[in-house]
Structure 1
Amino acid sequence: MANEPRLLSRATYRLWAQDRVRFGDTDRLGHVNNAKYATYFETARVELMQQVLPGPDSYFVIARIAIDFRAEIRELSTVDIGTAVTAIGRTSFTTGQAVFQGELCAATAEGVVVLVEAATRRPMPLPEALRQHLTTLAPVEG
């Protein structure tokens, strides 16, 4: 779940991406608009997907995303997005993610990513090599 306590800690994540908070990301209240967090999480998911995509005959789709907003970001600087793989299914896997600005955890998310065969546009089983790689991205226990 996106509200899982371990997702709040930087130490949980093995995979990191960065994005920049732009002036256009902010709203009238001067903080990052809630819709922008989905973009930050996408930045990190795409990086993960590019690392693990098994080949040109398949692609990943996001089937579900749940975001919990935890704190305001007001500073126009970089954010770090941590990603962990929290579950692996037959045709999909689940990610736990968090957006950090410094030590501040501003939002967490849970996403379900499905591997799809390009020719049929239907879910396909995760290849064993992909499953093995995904297990290396499990949350750091501690």
Structure 2
Amino acid sequence: LLLAVEIALKLLGPKLKNVLVTQNLQPVPKIIFNSGELNQVLINILVNAIQACEYMTNHTSKIGVDLTQVNDEILLNVTDNGCGMSEEVQQRIFDAFYTTKPVGTGTGIGMSIVLQILEQHDAKIVVKSELNKGTSIQIYFPISTSM
């Protein structure tokens, strides 16, 4: 998981040029997860954080990526200080084809796919957001007993 996070951040490097990224990546136990699907989850969440930050031009854009073990789970927490989401948007972000982006710039399937992939791997996702303050996406991965 640690390597997957590092790879996702490297892949998005050019998009992160105007964003201050802080990382607190602790060594964690290995998990069993399809690497392509894990990459898709990470990229979708990070791209959304980048785009949320692009809407806020009055301060330095910041994204935090924290990886740690919490009891029998691994917690990946991605936070941003972007535009945040209203309660209505938060209730719909996992709906297929729902997007807040202008026509032609978003398909509305990114977070729907994220949820589907995470559920297939018994992982949980928690979204906390405040309009004009930012968002925190917490993903809880079960630690595999077979590794």
TM-score (norm 1): 0.28
More helix by share: 2
Q: Relative CO higher for 1 or 2, CA cutoff 8 Å, sep ≥ 6?
A: 1
More strand by share: 1
